[in-house]
């Protein structure tokens, strides 16, 4: 695919300038940019700067408030509910995660459910905030309805990701960051560009029949829960996606199920709105609320080394630890730059000209 390479700092500066142009404070623009670009750095290209123009369009449609008064509206020693005041999820989620971390310092754990927010980028970024505090971090969010539960034709859930990040000692942290679908939308886009079919169990058509067409979502079809079909455990992926929805939205008072606001600004809001905005759920567990952090991290190292030295199936070099591919990508991209597809660059050029900004020249 035609692409150009940019440095992290180039993309950071441009993105931050855009967030400032829509009215974000310097502090919020910095937080939002760090959240957003963490996706590009970690190789989750579908959730990074490629979505910047989408955020701008949501702001133009007055669905995003660039100067939110984010606040705690209910709390106990280990819990809080945060009202994001229609802010960028990229800002609201780190705010909520920070509260979870503070609660965990006092009460052992902290759990924050968030209403009235917007798309928060990648779950991993928020969950990983806990690591430097010797805490386990947890992040979830609901999302636009693209997923048909087992036996359903209707799209009732988003890709509803779950991230759990746990610190290790000498080994790098364990970071499991997964959509509760067989495959996320970004993977469909890759197949679309390559003109390839999807494997079984990724999508169904608008009648609920199995399909291998990566364009199926645009034709009224749906993504499928992890498992793909009943015989392969899709009721489990569906149940996990439902848990994310309950924790993120039913505990907070956000919209849920098919009533979650869509990310594309051109898609009309659902006529029914049972809550406010979209919902997130952030958690932090202080390791030494259970056990000495040193002992835990030694055990994590031992656990990780055990998996790394497991015998592999024919044709595979090693058993991966959750977080390995993203961390390797991060090391590579921070050193060699971040490639953007020309279609993404064109999109950013439009954003640049809208705000009288200059998109940086490619780095390499």
Using CB under 8 A, which of the segments 27-35, 104-112, 188-196, 346-354 binds a copy of itself? Answer: 104-112
Q: Output the smallest distance, CB 54 to a copy of itself, in A.
A: 25
Using CB under 8 A, which of the segments 74-82, 189-197, 335-343, 352-360 binds a copy of itself? Answer: 74-82
Question: Interface residues for a copy of itself in 153-192 (CB under 8 A)?
Answer: 153-154, 156, 162, 164, 166, 174, 176, 178-183
CB 359: neighbour CB atoms within 10 A?
A: 18
Question: Interface residues for a copy of itself in 217-236 (CB under 8 A)?
Answer: 226-228, 231-233, 235-236
Minimum CB distance to a copy of itself smaller for 8 or for 259: 259
Q: Output the smallest distance, CB 329 to a copy of itself, in A.
A: 15
Chain centroid to Cα 233, Å, comes to 23
Minimum CB distance to a copy of itself smaller for 237 or for 337: 237
Output the DSSP codes for 76-118: ETTEEEEE-TT--HHHHHHHHHHHHHHHHHHHSEEEEEEEEE-
Q: Does 275 bind a copy of itself (CB under 8 A)?
A: yes
Q: Measure the CA–CA gap between 229 and 290, rounded to whole angstroms.
A: 38
User: 162, 213, 153, 161: which is closest to 188 by C-alpha?
Assistant: 213
Answer for which of 302, 343, 355, 358 binds a copy of itself (CB under 8 A) is: 302
Residues near a copy of itself (CB under 8 A), total: 90
Question: Interface residues for a copy of itself in 5-44 (CB under 8 A)?
Answer: none
| Contact status, residue 161 vs residue 171, Cβ threshold 8 Å | no
Output the DSSP codes for 163-175: EEEE--SSSPPEE
Q: Does 78 bind a copy of itself (CB under 8 A)?
A: yes
Q: Does 294 bind a copy of itself (CB under 8 A)?
A: no
| Contact status, residue 293 vs residue 287, Cβ threshold 8 Å | yes
Minimum CB distance to a copy of itself smaller for 55 or for 247: 247
Contact string 196-215 vs a copy of itself (x = CB under 8 A): ---xxx--x--xxx------
Q: CA-based angle 293:298:303, to the nearest 5?
A: 120
Using CB under 8 A, which of the segments 34-42, 56-64, 307-315, 347-355 binds a copy of itself? Answer: 307-315
DSSP 42: T
Q: Output the smallest distance, CB 353 to a copy of itself, in A.
A: 40
Q: Which two tokens stand for residue 28?
A: 């919020």
* C-beta pairs of 85-88 under 8 Å, 24+ apart in sequence: 85/116, 86/116, 86/117, 86/118, 86/277, 87/28, 87/117, 87/118, 88/19, 88/24, 88/28, 88/32, 88/55, 88/64, 88/118
Minimum CB distance to a copy of itself smaller for 156 or for 217: 156
Q: Measure the CA–CA gap between 205 and 221, rounded to whole angstroms.
A: 4
Answer for which of 89, 149, 214, 261 binds a copy of itself (CB under 8 A) is: 149
Chain centroid to Cα 47, Å, comes to 7
Q: Output the smallest distance, CB 183 to a copy of itself, in A.
A: 7
Answer for which of 59, 120, 256, 263 binds a copy of itself (CB under 8 A) is: 256
Minimum CB distance to a copy of itself smaller for 81 or for 340: 81
Name every residue whose Cβ is closer than 8 Å to that of residue 328 and which is 6 or more positions away in sequence.
none
Contact string 316-345 vs a copy of itself (x = CB under 8 A): x-xxx-x-----------------------
User: 84, 67, 111, 125: which is closest to 330 by C-alpha?
Assistant: 125
Q: Does 246 bind a copy of itself (CB under 8 A)?
A: yes
Answer for which of 62, 312, 335, 356 binds a copy of itself (CB under 8 A) is: 312
Q: Measure the CA–CA gap between 160 and 184, rounded to whole angstroms.
A: 10
Answer for which of 17, 250, 329, 341 binds a copy of itself (CB under 8 A) is: 250
């Amino acid at each position: 695919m035609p692409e150009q390479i940019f440095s992290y700092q180039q993309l950071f500066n441009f993105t931050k300038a855009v967030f400032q142009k829509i009215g974000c404070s310097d502090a919020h623009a910095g937080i939002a940019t760090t959240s957003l670009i963490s996706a590009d750095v970690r190789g989750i290209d579908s959730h990074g700067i490629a979505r910047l123009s989408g955020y701008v369009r949501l702001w133009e449609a007055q669905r995003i408030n660039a100067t939110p008064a984010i606040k705690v509206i209910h709390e106990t020693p280990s819990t809080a509910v945060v009202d994001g005041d229609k802010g960028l999820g990229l800002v609201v989620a780190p705010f909520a995660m920070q509260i979870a971390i503070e609660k965990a310092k006092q009460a052992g754990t902290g759990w924050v459910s968030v209403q009235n927010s917007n798309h928060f980028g990648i779950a991993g970024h928020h969950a990983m905030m806990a690591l430097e505090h010797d805490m386990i971090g947890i992040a979830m969010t609901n999302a636009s309805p693209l997923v048909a539960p087992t036996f359903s034709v209707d799209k009732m859930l988003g890709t509803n990701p779950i991230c759990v990040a746990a610190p290790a000692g000498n080994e790098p942290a364990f970071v499991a960051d997964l959509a509760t679908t067989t495959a996320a939308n970004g993977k469909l886009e890759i197949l679309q560009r390559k003109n390839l079919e999807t494997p079984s169990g990724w999508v169904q058509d608008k009648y609920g029949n199995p399909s291998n067409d990566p364009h199926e979502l645009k034709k009224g079809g749906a993504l499928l829960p992890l498992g793909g079909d009943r015989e392969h455990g899709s009721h489990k992926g569906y149940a996990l996606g439902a848990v994310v929805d309950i924790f993120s939205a039913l505990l907070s008072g956000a919209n849920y199920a098919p009533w979650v606001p869509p990310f594309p600004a051109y898609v009309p809001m659902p006529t029914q709105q049972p809550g406010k905005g979209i919902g997130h759920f952030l958690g932090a567990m202080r390791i030494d609320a259970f056990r000495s952090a040193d002992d835990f991290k030694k055990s994590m190292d031992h656990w990780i080394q055990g998996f790394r030295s497991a015998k592999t199936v024919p044709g595979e070099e090693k058993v991966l630890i959750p977080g390995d591919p993203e961390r390797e990508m991060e090391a590579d991209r921070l050193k060699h730059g971040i490639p953007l597809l020309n279609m993404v660059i064109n999109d950013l050029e439009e954003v640049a000209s809208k705000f009288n900004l200059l998109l940086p020249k490619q780095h390499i």
